[in-house]
Structure 1
Amino acid sequence: MSHTLLVWLVGGVLLVGAGVATTLLPRWRARGQEHRTAWSAARAAIDSAAVSRDAAASRVPEAERLLARAESIAAGRGGVSAAGAAAQLAREADRLWRTHQ
């Protein structure tokens, strides 16, 4: 293998690698941002439901069950869909506590 062929081969591999990196890196970053945003929203919903629970005048067993389930999902640290489910459960618990005040 001549020296020139080796240079072209290495250059081609570097070019393909750079193309793959420039294609995949933004997708990985977007996926990571989506994951962090979803879990941030879920934690905020759980915290809001906990505040409503603490402010409620009476116990609401259904809301307590929903919040416990949301916290359990959050402890498992799943993906975006798990974060959405936890947020939805926490919002529903929050709604129940707010309506029973």
Structure 2
Amino acid sequence: MSHTLLVWLVGGVVLVGAGFATTLLPTWRARGQEQRTAWSAARAAIDSAAVSRDAAAARVVEAERLLARAESIAAARGGTSAARAAAEHAREADRLWRTHQ
């Protein structure tokens, strides 16, 4: 095999690899940012529900169950859909405690 052919093959592999990297890197970064944002929103919703629980005059069993579910999802971590589910459970628990005050 001549050196010219080897240089062209290596150059082609590097060029294809660079193309994949420039295509996938922004997608990976965006996905990571979306996941961090979703988990931040979920933690904020859980904290808000915990404050509503502490301020509630009466015990609301369904809200306690929802908050426990949200906390267990958050403890297990996971992807964006898990964060959204945890946030939804926490928001519903928060709503229940606010309506029973």
Query: What amino acid is the match of 1:77?
Result: R
Q: CA deviation at 1:6?
A: 1.1
Note the C-alpha offset of 1:57. 1.3
- 2:38 aligns to what SS in structure 1? helix
Q: CA RMSD in A?
A: 0.8
Stretches of structure 2 that go unaligned for 5 or more consecutive residues are none
Letter matched to residue 63 of structure 1 = A
Runs (4 or more) in structure 1 with deviation over 6 Å come to none
Give the match for residue 2 of structure 2.
Answer: 2
Distance of 1:39 and 1:61 partners within structure 2: 25
1:78 and 2:83 correspond: no
Q: TM-score, normalised by structure 2?
A: 0.96
Q: Distance in 2 between matches of 1:54 and 1:89?
A: 17
After TM superposition, list the pairs within 5 Å mapping 1:9-88 onto structure 2.
9-88=9-88
TM-score using structure 1 length: 0.96
Take 1:98 and 1:73, find their aligned partners in 2: how far apart are those partners? 22
SS of alignment partner, residue 69 of structure 1: helix
Q: CA deviation at 1:5?
A: 1.1
